[in-house]
Amino acid sequence: MKHNLLHLTLIFLLLFISGLAQAANLPVPKPPAIGARAFLLEDFNSGQTLAAKNADQRIEPASITKLMTAYVVFKELRSGNITLQDMVTVSEKAWRTPGSRMFIEVGKQVSVEDLLLGMIVQSGNDATVALAEFVAGSEDSFAGLMNRYAQDLGMSETNFVNSTGLPDPEHYTSARDISTLTRLIIREYPEYYGWYSEREFTFNNITQENRNKLLWRDDSVDGVKTGHTDSAGYCLVTSAKREGMRLISVVLGTDSKSARADTSQALLNYGFRFFETHLLYDADTELTTTRIWKGAVETIPVGLSRPLHVTIPRGQYEQLDASMTIENRIIAPVSHGQVLGTVSVRLGDSDVSETPLVALQDVGEGSIWQRVIDEALLYFE
């Protein structure tokens, strides 16, 4: 009896473990149905798209525009052209700008830091125009800066006419371009990104709450920006981090404040539930060495110029397969960062990632004698 009970218990455990293994490898379901004109869900580190609809379609961004306004101002701060303590005199144009407001007063002086908080937390159009005029002299000139940076960042479906996102037929962007910009702000300007999680800001004795309601609903959310006009609908860019995995969702053109929050939450939950991100290789870490001909040394270390992250369905990490392809004949001189091959990552029959394999050091030409010997050896290769 005891033997039979033990036997049945073992069978049950095996079936249970097998069930867990099968559950871990279940196909990823379709993304949730999202009532938006366009949306995109991407992993921050790998850049992999997890869900999308019309992600490259040109669409009106409303106040999501202010992400690029902030990016330009952050670059000016980093370069030392302006400081957070600089005082900005409010113009009549800035004061009269319609839409959401920080309630600055014409002719008064406001610090760059307060204007940034008024733009980021309160979405103040008046603060945004004041910043644009301070940085570039006029809002038109500032829009030129915005477009130059958009072009540099590869935001091919973007054109800005103003700094605020007020409607204009020639003012547009795409969900993918917005995600690209958001990723750069988070990565390059962590000292300022924290402002996007501020729930309220008080200026001139007027306290306004951040319009991103997910900051109250989900502790993993730490940004980023809302937007709304009658023509653009309700928009929301969100970033959240759970257990080291960060996702960015872009939802454009929903029909209400609650809809943009609910759909963004649904996308984030979907991504965190069904996917996981892994760091496979760090930047500037030697992965292997390879022969270099006619050089001052015979071998050269190779690796990656940036970390390699991959995002895959949960429970499938053990099925990843990575391989390296290196050029057959590498001839000196070689410069640090020069592409010498590729690292390919596959999951089953699917390509997950292909990343350039680069030289991790400079190698100059060898002596005349070394070059002659290697030339002879190459002849027989």
User: HEC profile for 145-200?
Assistant: HHHHHHHHCCCCCCECCCCCCCCCCCCEECHHHHHHHHHHHHHHCHHHHHHHHCCE
> What is the rounded CA–CA span in Å between residue 287 and residue 33?
42
Torsion (CA) 361, 365, 370, 372 in degrees, nearest 10: 140
380 SS3 class: coil
Q: Which candidate, 16, 47, 14, places its Cα nearest to that of 309?
A: 47
H-only helix segments in the chain: 2-24, 66-79, 92-96, 112-120, 125-136, 139-152, 175-188, 190-193, 214-217, 257-274, 368-379
Rounded to a whole number of angstroms, the distance between the first and last alpha carbons of the chain is: 72
Structure tokens at 54: 């019309």
The answer to whether the CB of 185 falls within 8 A of the CB of 195 is no
For 138-170, letters b (16+ CB in 10 Å) and e give: ebeebbebbbebbeebebebbbbbbbbbbeeee
Catalytic site residue from 63, 100, 249, 264: 63
For 228-258, letters b (16+ CB in 10 Å) and e give: bbeebbbbbbbbbeeeebbbbbbbbbbeeee
7 SS3 class: helix
Task: Identify whether 156 is a catalytic site residue.
Answer: no
Catalytic site residue from 66, 213, 225, 294: 66
Task: Identify whether 63 is a catalytic site residue.
Answer: yes
Catalytic site residue from 91, 100, 123, 163: 123
> What is the rounded CA–CA span in Å between residue 64 and residue 41?
16
Structure tokens at 255: 């029909």
Which residue(s) pair with 308 in the sheet? 281
Q: Which candidate, 314, 313, 312, 220, places its Cα nearest to that of 265?
A: 220
Among all chains, which residue has been given the structure tokens 């996102």? 165
Active site residues: 63, 66, 123
